Amino acid sequence: MTMLREQLLRRKPTAAGGEDYGLKRSIGLFALTMIGVGATIGTGIFYVLSSAVPTAGPAVIWSFVIGGAVAGVTALCYAELAGAVPVSGSTYSYAYATLGEAPAMGVAACLLLEYGVSTAGVAVGWSQYVNELLDNLFGWRIPPELSNAPEQGGILNLPAVIVIVLCALLLLRGTGESAVVNAVMVVVKLGVLVFFVAVALTGWNADHFADFAPAGFQGIVAGAGIIFFSFVGLDAVSTAGGEAKNPKRNLPIAIVLALVIVVTAYVVVAITAVGAQAPEQFDGQTAGLSVILESIIGASWPGTIVAAGAVISIFSVTLVVLYGQTRILFAMSRDGMVPPVFSKLNPRTLAPGRNTMIVAAVVSVLAAVVPINFLLEMTSIGTLVAFLVVSVAVIILRRREPDIERGFTLPLHPLIPILSILGCIWIITQLRPITIVVFAIWTVAFLVFYWFYGRTHSALARPAGSGPDVPFTSTIRNAPEGKR
Amino acid sequence: MKILVAVNPVQRSVAVLDLAAMLARSADAELIVAAVLPVGWQPLARRTDGEWLGHLGESADVVLDHAASVLAGLKASFVQRSAKSAHRGIVDLIEEHSPDIVVVGSSSSGAIGRIAIGSVNGALLHASPVPVAIAPRGFRAGASVRIRRLTAAYGGSDAARDLVISAARVAADIGSRLRLASFAVGPEGSVTAGVGLEAERDIAEEWIRMMDESVDEVLSEVSEMVGAPQLDDAVVGVGDSWAHAMDDVTWTPEDVLVIGSSSLGPVARVFVGSNATKVLRSSPVPAIVVPRGGLR
């Protein structure tokens, strides 16, 4: 029994350092903030209103504030964890180094939702705007049979599949997203939203706010569950923390700044959208932001601009999330948690080719046949549970290893992790029961897979040692470089 | 062994001559130094371009005289040739003299110390039936420098394996050591993906591990050859650009890089693939580009 416990809770030793190839990036406060804004905006605001407004009414504004607050405290917890554990990678890597193998696999199950399923959701959102753009520019739409999931009366969502395939091809060529590209995308995204607000204000009608919270507080919180998807990505700031200048100061400031910018943008967009369109018209709308502008102006050009901006920015988001998924699976494959096919590289381009193709194929199927609401909710629950684990890890780490060097220490401990845990649980309970059930089934299935595969194939099982009590300390940071 | 050296008829360049001399000393070869001049334009019946052609001829004489002085002590002959284009003239000379290798310089518009591909050497890189050696801009080799080490650029493919084998034979022939080098530019990564900015470092490490395995196989094959050359440790260079990747390994003035042709090109002709071109352009040492089928 003890052995099994040791096996399930074995932690990956942290040996940072390694070798650097190329220039070491040194990221300042502004660039960090841009990473937070760029990673967050563009994932949800372009299409969450059509499901959130029917639930919360105009009070969806408060849903954004609540969602943002929860995302903010969890991102701060993540920042402490990332600064304390000398590993680089996703939440999976942090969980593996702090909580152990089995919890890390639980997190991995969540991350497959936060990344893989989210890629599908984002791609479906892209298909809405690409259809709007085609219609406005050429007067032609992809027929509904080929742009809707079966549940919505279609056969499959072809544009969503196409965008995933395009992104996969770019990744196979080794394309990435530099800080400069990100900055450009931030400008595009914010520019489109500012344009939307400016035009939507001309159609302002205060009467739309008459029934501000039709479903009361309950509706607002349920809305927060729906829109939480649009805050996924705020945690990217923390994972960049290892290369940040003066992380103690800049990391929390960047997270808070990014959060303020993002929440402000969302709230302003939500207010003007509701001001421009009666709340009952939101239900089931596709390419919502474009349609709203078109009905105010009575011409298609403002909708075209928004649709074009959305098509560009959602494309970049799809690329990034798909990339993230391939790299998480790559790391897991190297750890022996998933089969080695996920870490095979193409020697010419250095892209993990089969990994990328498998992920793209699976995600394409999801995007083709699953409706967007469900994809977004699965993404939300995966992200929330991963965040929850991060917050728990912060508390555990404070108790177990109070003296390690932390890049950034949360004030008022343990208030913020506890707030984060409660906030995540609160929003999770607002999601549809079907989402929670599917999530539970998925996580259990993934852990069963771990039981039969990862537990025995683990890279930690190969060499001796590395029991659960191997401490890591900040001195490991200066470990000698690995062999070349 | 015969080495064809193609010199620019209007510009004295020491780089190409020094490389030719270094090769000739190492392989004990005879040099044919050729200056290719343009042909006159036939429709100009009154030979209004005569003066210009005369000037080119004189200039080529100066260049070849200079070459003779640089190559003093080596067995060398000097020719002038007229052709419709420089690379066509060089290919004609290759067919005529059937040299074992042709030596050219870099384009004059490149960074000093690196190989620059221009119109003439670029065309040769896609048409030469024999290996092409290219000197970096400003290359210099002392009067007694020989090739001490051939570095075979190894990309992991079967064609690359064949190249290593033929480079090993040449290294054995000229008494130099052989080293395998693999180069890669790490993918860009993504700042907003939330998987850490060092995700690509793991990719690079995995690639290095992968190359190590495949290099071990090739090296054991080489060491089983009869008269195998002395082997140096295989090296990998990874960087955020090809130039950085190349600079990631150490180079000496007695190094020569050997690059294989793309397996996509026509059979038995030099044809440089996209990654090989980048390695070539970033090479700080002279490079020999070998057609499929190998060095002779």
Confidence at residue A265, expressed as pLDDT on a 0 to 100 scale? 94
- Distance from C-alpha of A303 to C-alpha of A366, rounded to nearest angstrom: 28
**pLDDT at B223 exceeding the cut of 90:** no
Judge whether residue A9 has pLDDT over 90.
no
A19/chain B closest Cα distance in angstroms: 8
**Crossing angle of helices A101-111/A91-98, nearest 10°?**
170
Q: Which residue of B has its CA nearest to A238?
A: B194
Question: Are A235 and A107 spatial neighbours (Cβ–Cβ below 8 Å)?
Answer: no
Evaluate whether A56 touches A63 at the Cβ level (below 8 Å): yes
Contact A176 B189 (CB under 8 A): yes
Contact A56, A222 (CB under 8 A): yes
pLDDT at position B143 is 83
Residue B294's pLDDT is 56
For residue A472, the model assigns a pLDDT of 42
Q: What is the mean pLDDT of residues A281-292?
A: 87
- Number of residues written out for chain B: 296
The CA distance from B199 to the nearest CA of chain A, in Å, is 6
Any idea what DSSP says for residue A206? G
Provide the pLDDT for residue A24: 52
Which residues 180-209 of A have a C-beta within 8 angstroms of B? 182
Give the one of B188, B205, B239 whose C-beta lies nearest to A175's C-beta. B188
Looking at beta carbons, which residues of chain A come within 8 Å of B189? 176-177
Taking an 8 Å cut-off on Cβ atoms, the answer to whether B195 and A334 are in contact is: no
Chain A residues closer than 8 Å to B245 by CB: 21
Q: Does A75 touch chain B (CB under 8 A)?
A: no
Record: contact B190-A176, CB cut-off 8 A:
yes
Q: What is the pLDDT of residue A241?
A: 72
- Cα dihedral across residues B59, B60, B63, B66: positive or negative: negative
Hey, which residues 136-165 in chain B have their CB within 8 Å of chain A?
155-157
A-B contacts (CB, under 8 Å): 139
Q: Is this prediction's pTM over 0.90?
A: no
Chain A residues in contact with B202 (beta carbon < 8 A): 89, 327, 330-331, 334
In the prediction, which pLDDT does A307 show? 92
Per-residue pLDDT band at A1 (split at 50, 70, 90): low
Please state, in angstroms and rounded to a whole number, the distance separating the CA atoms of residues A477 and A466.
17
Phi first, then psi, for residue B153 (nearest 5°) are -75, 120
Query: Which residues of chain B are within 8 Å of residue A330 when distances are taken between CB atoms?
Result: 199, 202-203, 206
Residues of chain B with pLDDT > 90: what percent? 28
Going along B188-233, which residue ranges are E strands? none
At residue A163, does pLDDT exceed 90?
yes
pLDDT at A158: 93
% of chain B surpassing 70 pLDDT: 93
pLDDT digits (tens, 9 = 90+) for A107-160: 999 999 999 999 999 999 899 899 999 998 998 888 888 888 888 888 899 999
Residue B118 per-residue DSSP state: -
* Cβ-defined contact of B192 to A182 (cutoff 8 Å): yes
Specify the pLDDT at position A463. Answer: 59
Inter-chain residue contact B186 with A21, CB threshold 8 Å: yes
- Name the residue among A22, A334, A351 with its Cβ closest to that of B240: A22
- pLDDT for residue A479: 32
Nearest-neighbour CA in chain B from A456: distance (Å) = 21
Question: Which chain B residues have a beta carbon less than 8 Å from that of A324?
Answer: 190, 193-195
Reported as a pLDDT band with limits 50, 70 and 90, residue A195 is very high
What are the tokens at B161? Answer: 């394996």
Q: Which of B233, B222, B235 is nearest to B182 (CA)?
A: B235
The answer to whether B198 contacts chain A (CB < 8 Å) is: yes
Any idea what the Cα angle at residue A41 is, between residues A37 and A44, rounded to 5°?
A: 155
Amino acid symbol at A47: Y
Report chain A's mean pLDDT, rounded to a whole number: 86
Complex ipTM, two decimals? 0.78
Measure CA of the first residue to CA of the last residue in chain A; give whole Å: 39
CB contact under 8 A, B206 and A334: yes
Query: What pLDDT shows up at residue A300?
Result: 87
pLDDT score for A476: 32
- Report the pLDDT value the prediction gives residue A484, as an integer from 0 to 100: 34
Measured in angstroms, the CA of B255 and the nearest CA of chain A are apart by: 22
Record: contact B202-A330, CB cut-off 8 A: yes
Q: Could you report the per-residue pLDDT of B11-40, keeping only the tens digit for each?
A: 888 999 999 999 999 888 899 999 998 887
Q: Do the Cβ atoms of A471 and A13 come closer than 8 Å?
A: no
Cα(B175)–Cα(B149) distance, integer angstroms: 9
* pLDDT band of B44, cuts 50, 70, 90: low
Residues near A401 by beta carbon (within 8 Å), at least 6 away in sequence? A471, A472, A473
pLDDT at B47 > cutoff 90: no
Cis peptide upstream of residue A340 (ω within 30 degrees of 0): no
Mutate which of B154, B158, B185, B192 to test chain A, going by most A C-beta atoms within 10 A? B192
Q: Which phi and psi (to 5°) does residue A299 adopt? A: -140, 165
Predicted pLDDT at A477: 29
pLDDT tens, position by position, B249-265: 999 988 999 988 765 45
B191–A177 CB contact, under 8 Å = yes
Please give the angle made by the CA atoms of A357, A360 and A366, to the nearest 5 degrees. 145
pLDDT of the residue at A284: 81
Judging contacts by C-beta atoms under 8 Å, the chain B residues touching residue A22 are 186, 238-241, 244
Q: How far apart are CA B184 and CA B275, in angstroms?
A: 9
Phi, psi of B291 (to 5 degrees): -70, 160
